[in-house]
Chain A
């Protein structure tokens, strides 16, 4: 049994235009100390998949089916009061924009100690000492002084480190990081990714990293799931995925990168993502796919094993090793 198991997860949102199906039949597992990347372009469902774990989706409009278990315990049906203990304690989240997720009217120190006092029942002094340790852990210089500062006094990179410190305050089993470095400069990004690596190495934290950046995936992830139109289309250990991408969409993403230009041209992926309002019984990528054949329009290719520890949802996969 894996630490986290997501099985046949589907998530839709009720809207005026009908049910928007954001995630369809996703299954994945996460082991202790593993860094799993969920990647894909805007609207592919990567964030919704991850946010289903701590149940941070609007309860009134979300239509969720399937199962999410943490240490064998089902989270989707857990009463909200118990779920609150899971959030912050066992599962915590780092968002893209640290300025909007930190409270501007409280000091950094207050915001970290609050978490510790609530979830760990530490005394004020003990929480304060632990908070300084946490700021040190995420590489913030002069942590004693920073404790007394407000979010606006910190740079973007520092704020993101504070968010990570808060997220790991209770040593969560699972850390979900949603585009944690997208708003940061590259020289700052490298340091923040090092913090994640360090947490994994020292505390064995399992991390779900949501990102659109294949460079970040290549740098830090152990395994990656590529999503397209709400479904997982490919899943493999990172070195295997980049060496032998099977799904034409994964290959398309890699070839579209400016660094992959051939003779001054980039490979484009023609067409557009299908509407999340429809759910055709065909491969969702067929009308953009360079390898499309008649069968792709007749039924949906299942996500199946195509090589050792490598899953892809394609009838005509490439990249055989």
Chain B
């Protein structure tokens, strides 16, 4: 396992952003971590990179427990895990040239001298599909798609084992998004890194994730192989999420059964007792309001869900209630 997260908890004061989450990412695997605003998905990414201190739980990177490593002890491990952000503009230093931005990790970790750095920057530019003359440009001179390519080049120049990508294509127009998604697919295949891909967009993870994990209010509600999740979603929340994302086909879209969830996402300061989804779940019954469902995989096919209604021979159908 490249990444193993066990019972991760992160509270910001009273806000219970992540509240006991476990997941694993294998070598060369792309895991799509999906959830809506406030689900805690970005906090998971920040904990993995130790950009924020976990409240409890453990994070193992490549078999090594990094949860409580000091800054200094963490430093050499930073070569193995890199981050790609949503907004490449605010994550690229506006006063640095593209060459300096991409080459900076090499110099910081003292793994290459200036000449070697320059050579490897040229190589990365080529890999991410940017022309060599871009190296002397500044971030503001680049388009959104080009900036995201620079962000990828910087994240990958140290050939990390794990890339944490937080909504890397959400701010891009469809046509630009398509080329960046193709690029990520190619780079992942060629370089073989594992990836924690955090997004709200189901169609994006369907395109590039091997496995999907769905979060709701700081908890994992379901995970499994991408095809399985899309074909046979088990948790009512996953079912609602899939049914709410409109498909770009008016004939199909207008015939689809939609599960419209009532109400709003409850506050992570005071999450509901029992199942956290029960306030919006069309199938909720007494037990859901008091007993928190454990994540269980009744068929043992790597597709666990945290719902009282999921059993070995039965899967709830949130659409059937209306």
Contact = CB atoms under 8 A, between A and B. Distances in A.
Report the contact-size class of chain A (Cβ under 8 Å from the partner): 35 or more
A253 B175 contact: yes
Contact of B207 (A186, A189, A194, A261): A261
Contact of B248 (A191, A214, A252, A266): A214
B97 to A, nearest CB: 21
A190 B258 contact: yes
Interface stretch (A96-104, A126-134, A267-275, A300-308): A267-275
A248 B37 CA distance: 35
B255 to A, nearest CB: 11
A256 B203 CA distance: 12
A215 B244 contact: no
A242 B261 CA distance: 28
B270 interface: no
B240 A272 contact: no
Contacts of B208: 258
Nearest to A224: B250
A185 interface: yes
Given A190-B258, A212-B173, A264 B240 contact: no
Given A187-B36, A216-B246, A218-B250, A259 B260 contact: no
B206 interface: yes
B265 interface: yes
Contact of A268 (B178, B246, B247): B178
Interface in B241-292: 241, 244-251, 253-254, 258, 260-261, 263-265
A65 interface: no
B174 A259 contact: no
Interface in B1-41: 36-37
A41 B175 contact: yes
B181 interface: yes
Given A186-B36, A186-B200, A259-B203, A254 B248 contact: yes
B78 to A, nearest CB: 31
Given A185-B36, A265-B182, A219 B246 contact: yes
A264 B185 contact: yes
A239 interface: yes
A1 B277 CA distance: 50
A141 interface: yes
A33 interface: no
B251 A239 contact: yes
Contacts of B181: 258, 266
Contacts, number: 111
B175 A252 contact: yes
Given A268-B182, A272-B143, A257 B244 contact: no
Contacts of A158: 264
B173 A266 contact: no
Interface string A113-131: 0000000000000000000
Interface in B186-241: 200-204, 206-208, 240-241
A258 B206 contact: yes
Nearest to B251: A239
A234 to B, nearest CB: 15
A256 B240 contact: no
Given A212-B173, A265-B182, A259 B248 contact: yes
Report the contact-size class of chain B (Cβ under 8 Å from the partner): 35 or more
A253 B202 CA distance: 18
Contact of B250 (A42, A239, A265): A239
B118 interface: no
Interface in A161-214: 185-191, 194, 212-214
A217 interface: yes
A41 B261 CA distance: 30
A265 B249 contact: no
B318 to A, nearest CB: 11
B185 A218 contact: no
A70 interface: no
Given A186-B244, A258-B181, A266-B182, A219 B174 contact: no
Nearest to A240: B250
Given A185-B36, A186-B241, A259-B203, A215 B248 contact: yes
A257 B37 CA distance: 22
B62 interface: no
Nearest to A257: B248
Contacts of A213: 246
B203 A258 contact: yes
A257 B260 contact: no
Given A41-B174, A42-B173, A258-B206, A187 B240 contact: yes
Top 6 nearest A-B pairs (CB, nearest first) are: A215-B246, A256-B178, A185-B36, A41-B173, A269-B175, A258-B207
Interface of B: 36-37, 143, 173-175, 177-179, 181-182, 185, 200-204, 206-208, 240-241, 244-251, 253-254, 258, 260-261, 263-265
14 contacts: A185-B37, A190-B260, A191-B261, A218-B254, A219-B254, A253-B174, A256-B174, A258-B203, A259-B247, A259-B248, A264-B185, A266-B178, A268-B182, A272-B143
